[in-house]
Structure 1
Amino acid sequence: MIYLALIGCETDSNFRARHHAPPRHCGLRRSRQGTIRGMTEPTPTLVLVDGSSYLYRAYHAMPDLRAVPGEAASAPTGAIRGMVNMLQSLRKDSPAVYAACVFDTSGRTFRDDLYADYKATRSPMPDDLRSQIVPIHEVTRLLGWPVLAVEGVEADDVIGTLATQAAQQGMQVLISSGDKDLAQLVNEQISIIDTMNGKRRDMAGVLAEFGVPPERMIDYQTLVGDAVDNVPGVAKVGPKTAAKWLAEYGSLENLLQNAASIKGVAGQNLRDAVDWLPTARQLVTIKTDVAGLPAVQQLPLAQPDAQALRPFYQQYGFRSLAQQLSPPAAAATVEHAARTADLFGEDEGTASASSEEALPLPGFHGQPDYHTILDWDTLEQHLAEWQQAPLVAIDTETTSLDSMQAQIVGISVSTRPGRGAYIPLGHDYAGAPEQLPLEAVLAKLRPWLEDARHAKLGQHIKYDRHVFANHGIEVQGFLHDTMLQSYVLEVHRPHNLQSLAERHTQRQGTAYEDLCGKGANQISFSQVAVEQAAHYACEDADQTFDVHSVLWPRLLADDRLRGIYELEIATSEVLYRMERHGVRIDAQQLATQSHELGQRIVALEQQAYELAGQTFNLGSPKQLAEIFFDKLGMPVVKKTATGARSTNEEVLEKLADDYPLPARILEHRSLAKLKSTYTDKLAQLALPRTGRVHTHYAQAVAVTGRLSSVEPNLQNIPVRTPEGRRIREAFIAAPGAKIASADYSQIELRIMAHLSGDEALLKAFAEGRDIHRATAAEVFGVSLEQVSSEQRRYAKVINFGLIYGMGAFGLAKNLGIDHTAARNYIDRYFERYPGVRRYMDETKALAKEQGYVETVFGRRLYLPEINSPNGPRRAGAERAAINAPMQGTAADLIKKSMVAVQAVLDREMPHIAMMMQVHDELVFEVPEAEVDWLRQRIPAVMAEVATLKVPLVAELGVGDNWEQAH
């Protein structure tokens, strides 16, 4: 064995290195034929594995596996098992004569001496991973891979040196890593494969991905810097600018010689960085001359040491791996066991007694293995399997889509794609088979369902949690939700299970309507024959697992998207609790409001009749057109697509400026909508058993990441009219409690300042100025003290209008001024805030290039019309490109706040309930004795959930009802 350093537990800065949060995946991404994508080239002679990257991927991809299953105090083993999977798969798909698995060491390197803050932003290695480092190195050697580590340099430097030496000797070299820094090593003989996603970085691949050839990658990295390693580049210079400069000037050296001629802020930043860039270049350059390494010929890829591996596998609970090393009864048994263990970490058809798991292949297309559970012995057998499985998919079949009232008809569970079991519990049609009693079954399942150590996944898990809670069971351990995975990865596409299965696994399942019918003839699920119901329910759980096996590796491949997904999962937990708690409604006050609104609506109808000189149907476009245009001679504003004279709301608003009748009709419509949607309906929505209204928060609807709500829709309660604000007065607290409301101050403008980096905006927020007054002073050229209330109002419209992509026409309409004046205001705004203009231009250009924009935290917002040949559609997408990062970042921030605030409440004040989220506002029900704590604590927590270039400010109000608190 070649082993240059005695590697112990690696705990220091190197493991706080570039692989702290890598794309987390412990299995190779395969095609249906089982080959790694992009691996059709000749087999390389030397394979170099970035071991530090591998072990982090293995750790983060696997569940919390233990040497003794189910014992939390037992030694963790997930990273070890994942490492075995990865190395076995790589050996199979890329056979080599020579190889090495290279790890970082725990000490300082020469880069730490060059730059004291190198990798200073890294978090320490998790304790559970640190404890697995020594056995990972051991099993790597036992699997036949030479293990290398060298003090004073990083794994990349060892890889760079060996790869260069081998290439100089005429060998082909394949580096297995997801680290983009290694792209600088690529040449005709050296290539890189990211086994997680099949991405191949050869010479053409590097050029296509980065816009520069491999020989210019060091220059490119020097300019861009490396945020992962905390290496600054040139301020505000990203990949596009760096590639553009290098294409134009050929090299960093030539670029610096011409730095004086480069215009704009980027040119100045380049000149400012001249003294730093030599150090940056040293930090990002991979060494290719590490001394003392063995010759490549001294690194043969050996056969696994089966005799030593068997006790190792047994020690760490890898039963199926140990069985693979035992002589089988027949060759067919070997092939079958190896294939099954490779996919699932267990023997096919039996529950695993070990803690191991390997990720399954996506897209199951064999004969499914489905079971219907009708007796206690069968339930016991399946429950034992579920308890041992590393991950299970759970789905409920119910009596209702209303999650707060739905009752269980049946439960289905899948432990892997193609396998499922259904427990029918409430099928009550004539001739239905005898089923196990519901309450007894739930009592049997309760310990497993409520144990967070048993990892679970589902499709829209919030619904299933409510369903179980309706029966008194608080399910714990829901780690994954395929609906939310899809929402994060492909927000612009449907997220229902049928669409996901067809899109990602090419599987078509049974539609609900095929079982239950449609419309008035639709039957309840309890009336569906058990045999059909079982197949349908098993298919739901099975396909959920199958979809997860496709989408989860994609999230593992992108740290930022994975972070957004983890935020969504945490948000789902908070929303479940908010929905469960609900809010009290003052039914008597709503009845009073309804009566008053009814009287006003009748009065408005009479006024409309008098103004029209006749009675008519206020909701009839045809009658309105006849009265407006034929009888009263109002001008025709626009026509419909069929040529009819339009009387839509936009037309009514325009006509209302000059005519009283359209104004009365608009007011009538507004009050009628308030009455029918809220004052008449809210009290009816209260659940009898709780006396509260329980809204449903739709988490996977808005493309910006914002939440929406239904039954009732809390987001659309109007707040700009007295009547709308009165509705909030009916949202009240329990006796002895108050309502509190916390929200962010001018959050989207603060996000604009952060994203644009505009110095004037940043300064205004840093100094705590009234941003609208500050904008007015800039636009109108007066001092802050001289700004009038009218000028401030104009500035507020400009500030928010530009965020939403408003042009001169829209601004003129909003302010009631002419187009020229509006254009002048906008021009002056951009003169004073040039960073905003630059941000808008750069954002639109980036959106056109990549088809999406991102929030500060990495949420992707796709813009399918951004390159549309249709001018209005393209313009709309451009406006969305500017606005979406701000709205999306605001959505991310409020979700981060919800998660952080709930954690603080759980730790410090569990009697306070967070019960509503509306836009940027969190609403609480708080005992009177704890109001002072809430005033002090919650705004501070909300202000600290993220660090932007401007301070986050949250404000909190308290009252007897929501309106008083707001």
Structure 2
Amino acid sequence: MKLLAIDGNSILNRAFYGVRLLSNKKGVYTNAIFGFLNILLKLKKDYQPDTTAITFDLKAPTFRHLRYDGYKANRKGMPEELAMQLEPLKEILRALGYPLVELEGYEADDLLGTIAALCQKNGAECIIATGDRDSLQLVGDRVAVCMVKTKENILYDPQRLKEDYGVTPAEIIELKALMGDASDNIPGVKGIGEKTATALIQKYHSIDTIYQSLEEIEATPRVKKLLGEGKESAFLSRELATICVEAPMKEDLADLQMKSVQETELANCLTQLELFSFFPKFGIQPAMAQENTDAPDRTKQVKLLLDPTLEVLKEKLEQQGRIDFYREGETVYFCFADALAVCREQAENAVSELVFSSVLPKRTFQAKQFFKEARAMGTAFENLTFDVELAGYLLSAASRGYALAGLVQKYLPLQSCQVEAAGEEAEAFQTAAAFSDLCDVLERTLKEENMLDLLHEIELPLCEVLADMEYEGFAIDLEQVREYGDELQQRIDGLRDQLFIYAGHTFNPNSTKELGVILFDELGLPAKKKTKTGYSTNADVLESLRGKHPIIECLLEYRKLTKLHSTYIVGLLKVVGEDQRVHSTFNQAETRTGRISSTEPNVQNIPVRTEEGSKIREFFVAREGYTLVDADYSQIELRILAHIADDENMIRAFQDKVDIHQVTASQVFHVPLDEVTPQLRSRAKAINFGIVYGIGAFSLSQDIHVSVAEAKTYIDQYLKTYHGVRNYMDEIVRQAEETGYVSTLYHRRRDLADIRSTNKVVKANAKRIALNTPIQGTAADIIKIAMIRVFRRLKTEGLEAKLILQVHDELILESPVMQAPFVAQLLKEEMQSAAKLAVELSVDVHTGKNWLAAKG
């Protein structure tokens, strides 16, 4: 028999700190439970035990506390976010049938030791899983200890323990007697550290031997003196460090057998905590739960229509009065209240003939693909009323993805659709059969969260705009790309040769390992912490070494140019189509703030203020007979801040059309407006934009090269000047702590469970996000509204100009040269009128043959 004994508190603690804070809709934290259950499943998979028992500490004092009142005296209490997860975890474990072992007056370690002793006595094998090295003393012939690590667990038997620690299991206790244990506040012998303690125990094996002949042992006079003075403490520490293997447990091996799973209770627990991903992992069905929920909780019989004729399908769609459909690979699913039509043979015809030609309202998944197809076919995809992916994104912008099966599991946990199919097909068909119900639930949830208008008025219309932009693409001057690529390669080769000169020999500049040896071993530069794989040579490390050796500047330049070459020369040439245009993919459901991102190529990340970035923008050109029209919002985030904070001083500055950074400098640094120097204006600009991102005194001091105290004075003075901003900052953090989220002017939400964290670093980061998201997110909403307005206006006016690119606060159109003046005016009007704020939105518009020239 093989028994797995798990140190519940240790693993729960490790899980809590290893998984970012997660919570359900009611604000109950679940990250530690999530992590614990995944660790549990991995342990069972790795060791295939016959039974598993889990031990937990109780709050009552143990015999060690009674023996020594300083025991664990330095331990902080369990964080509230973790404490609230303990009982729900135990409920899940009981429902799974695991025996939980707890005993007042004894620690989980003592119960593990007693279980291990029971196994040895009865000829059973025991594996102890823990994150605490104290349990290594329990390693024996039939007892192994699995140290649970972040990356890879380590299984200790006596041989592995000897290899890694140089001592036997029993000697682990002797080590603690001498060196103590800071985490448990076991004193040990004052002045004796791990190195000395290990050497002594490896030679003499126990403190009994050491103290029997203290004067004869091989040690310095100082060590002997420390040992003599600390004798009483050493024996007390050994007593405290020794795990009890005879705890008076009620359970014997028969009581530690797994019980049967209580499926209803387990389903209820997982549903309450919204841990839906564990249903398939534990082999139970969501429909087993009996909790009250808004989601349909019925078993639904669905008729399967495999490859129906288009005539039959058309009739059913017209009867339903709505088209609920989506594509998965080469299959298109049409969903009805009581039936599921699966189209494989005529999938494309079904879409082109039944969807694109219909005016019926449509609900789908990933609508952008259908807008692009319709555009390519010269037809229209009309009356889109719902997109499941976008709904999932709005409800949880921090999720890693929005696969249909995952959304069904999350929002319809109690529904089971019965479809006649087997194998993988059955799973796909069951997901498809739930599609219409999923749309209903998501729509209702969006309405409850006040985000249905955001979906209908911004995200759904934007789908068509982005599809059109992807279809149009952006022309690339390939000759320029190749010429600049050759120039960059020459510079890269020259820098590589210079690196070899500095190093004194050739090496691979792209090898972190080789570079670490050269910089820190051969050239003797100050190194950061060395890991098992070598020295770190990341950007932060190299920046900290600037000025210490000329190889550093050369290396930084080399890295910058090689990245530019691979990303914007090799990368661009790879994605240019036969039409000599790049067709970026614009991602609408990726960022947490609501901003659009792009891939192949990622146009959002082209350097802005560098010569190289400018050169890259020259590659992006207008086609023959056309020009580019480029418009950029000016200081949009500060204008939004003025509006949201209702700050009269900031509003007045914008209304008077004065330089906001100059005004800020005048007020913060107490100098007349006409005496503000470029340096003071630059500092004021850093403060203005830093405040938007929740900047602290330390970061500001780094940005503007002043002391932390001086930076703090500037921030304090700024908040006195702009008291509305100060009030906003206080209020938005208070609201976030109260509700667990922040939102934009258009009700886009971002959940912030970390704002309630007791960890100061985690909470401080969440506060910065709380300050910034309503501003940056509102800016993202406004640029989206502007894109929709511009797209529609171009159509209404019958113009040939097309919107082809969006980057942050910038829109670019490709327009026939003759239409450009009117298009530029149209673009400015629509962008400025996209939102009505307390201050007017300001837009700069320029034209040019390439992107760089069009930026003015």
1:761 matched to 2:667: no
- Aligned with 1:599 (options 472, 476, 490): 490
1:383 matched to 2:272: no
Structure 1 segments (4+ residues) deviating >6 Å: 507-510, 530-534, 640-643
1:815 matched to 2:749: no
1:634 is matched with: 525
Deviation at 1:419, TM superposition (A): 2.5
Distance 2:741 2:447 in 1: 20
Deviation at 1:544, TM superposition (A): 2.7
Distance 2:700 2:332 in 1: 56
Distance 1:363 1:676 in 2: 53
Deviation at 1:397, TM superposition (A): 3.8
1:362 matched to 2:305: no
Amino acid at match of 2:505: Q
1:454 matched to 2:323: no
2:306 is matched with: 372
Distance 1:618 1:487 in 2: 41
1:485–1:565 Cα contact (<8 Å) kept: no
Q: Superposition RMSD on alpha carbons, in Å?
A: 2.5
1:938 is matched with: 827
- Aligned with 1:474 (options 356, 359, 380): 380
2:52 is matched with: none
1:668 is matched with: 558
1:780 is matched with: 669
Amino acid at match of 2:445: R
Amino acid at match of 1:496: A
Distance 2:776 2:794 in 1: 27
Deviation at 1:459, TM superposition (A): 1.3
1:326 is matched with: none
Residues 479-535 of structure 1: per-residue CA shift (max 9 Å, x gap) = 21011111112222342212101101127999xxxxxxxxxxxxxxxxxxx997865
Q: 1:874 to 1:652 in 2, by over 3 A?
A: same
2:440 is matched with: 549
1:503 matched to 2:410: yes
Distance 1:559 1:810 in 2: 36
Deviates more, 1:556-565 or 1:767-776: 556-565
Where in structure 1 are there 5+ consecutive unaligned residues? 1-359, 399-408, 426-435, 511-529
1:412 is matched with: 333
Distance 1:783 1:696 in 2: 49
1:205 is matched with: none
1:702 is matched with: 591
Q: 1:532 to 1:579 in 2, by over 3 A?
A: farther
Deviation at 1:898, TM superposition (A): 0.6
Distance 1:815 1:616 in 2: 37
The alignment partner of 1:475 has SS state of coil
1:740–1:925 Cα contact (<8 Å) kept: yes
1:679 matched to 2:569: yes
Amino acid at match of 2:344: P
Residues 278-325 of structure 1: per-residue CA shift (max 9 Å, x gap) = xxxxxxxxxxxxxxxxxxxxxxxxxxxxxxxxxxxxxxxxxxxxxxxx
Amino acid at match of 1:419: A
Q: 1:722 to 1:540 in 2, by over 3 A?
A: farther
- Aligned with 1:655 (options 531, 545, 569): 545
Amino acid at match of 2:402: H
Deviation at 1:575, TM superposition (A): 0.8
Distance 1:665 1:787 in 2: 38
Residues 573-584 of structure 1 mapped to structure 2, 5 A cutoff: 573-584=464-475
1:699–1:706 Cα contact (<8 Å) kept: yes
Distance 2:493 2:429 in 1: 55
1:792 matched to 2:656: no
Residues 542-941 of structure 1 mapped to structure 2, 5 A cutoff: 542-636=433-527, 638-639=528-529, 645-688=535-578, 690-941=579-830
The alignment partner of 1:656 has SS state of coil
Amino acid at match of 1:556: K
2:846 is matched with: 957
Residues 720-778 of structure 1: per-residue CA shift (max 9 Å, x gap) = 21112211111111110001111110011111111112221111111111111111111
Amino acid at match of 2:318: Q
Distance 1:640 1:469 in 2: 56
* Corresponding residue pairs, total: 558
Residues 381-428 of structure 1: per-residue CA shift (max 9 Å, x gap) = 122111332222222244xxxxxxxxxx33221123x62111213xxx
Amino acid at match of 2:336: T
The alignment partner of 2:770 has SS state of helix
Amino acid at match of 1:410: T
1:561–1:859 Cα contact (<8 Å) kept: no
Amino acid at match of 2:757: S
Q: 1:383 to 1:811 in 2, by over 3 A?
A: same
Distance 2:323 2:636 in 1: 40
1:483 matched to 2:389: yes
The alignment partner of 2:402 has SS state of coil
Deviation at 1:702, TM superposition (A): 0.6
Residues 133-182 of structure 1: per-residue CA shift (max 9 Å, x gap) = xxxxxxxxxxxxxxxxxxxxxxxxxxxxxxxxxxxxxxxxxxxxxxxxxx
Deviation at 1:613, TM superposition (A): 2.4
Distance 2:568 2:297 in 1: 46
Q: 1:363 to 1:823 in 2, by over 3 A?
A: same
1:448–1:454 Cα contact (<8 Å) kept: no
Q: 1:565 to 1:420 in 2, by over 3 A?
A: same
Distance 1:742 1:933 in 2: 13
Amino acid at match of 1:947: K
The alignment partner of 1:910 has SS state of coil
Deviation at 1:710, TM superposition (A): 0.7
Distance 1:792 1:547 in 2: 53
Residues 872-926 of structure 1: per-residue CA shift (max 9 Å, x gap) = 1111001110011111000000001011111111111431100111111111001
Q: 1:396 to 1:606 in 2, by over 3 A?
A: same
Deviates more, 1:717-726 or 1:742-751: 717-726
Deviates more, 1:560-569 or 1:709-718: 560-569
Amino acid at match of 2:332: I
2:408–2:431 Cα contact (<8 Å) kept: no
TM-score relative to the length of structure 1: 0.55
TM-score relative to the length of structure 2: 0.62
Distance 1:683 1:473 in 2: 31
Amino acid at match of 1:543: A
2:525–2:548 Cα contact (<8 Å) kept: no
Distance 2:415 2:365 in 1: 16
Where in structure 2 are there 5+ consecutive unaligned residues? 1-293
Q: 1:695 to 1:508 in 2, by over 3 A?
A: farther
- Percent of residue pairs bearing the same amino acid type: 37
Amino acid at match of 1:415: F
Q: 1:891 to 1:789 in 2, by over 3 A?
A: same
Residues 305-344 of structure 1 mapped to structure 2, 5 A cutoff: none
2:729–2:771 Cα contact (<8 Å) kept: yes
1:396–1:464 Cα contact (<8 Å) kept: no
Deviation at 1:673, TM superposition (A): 1.2
1:586–1:683 Cα contact (<8 Å) kept: no
The alignment partner of 1:865 has SS state of helix
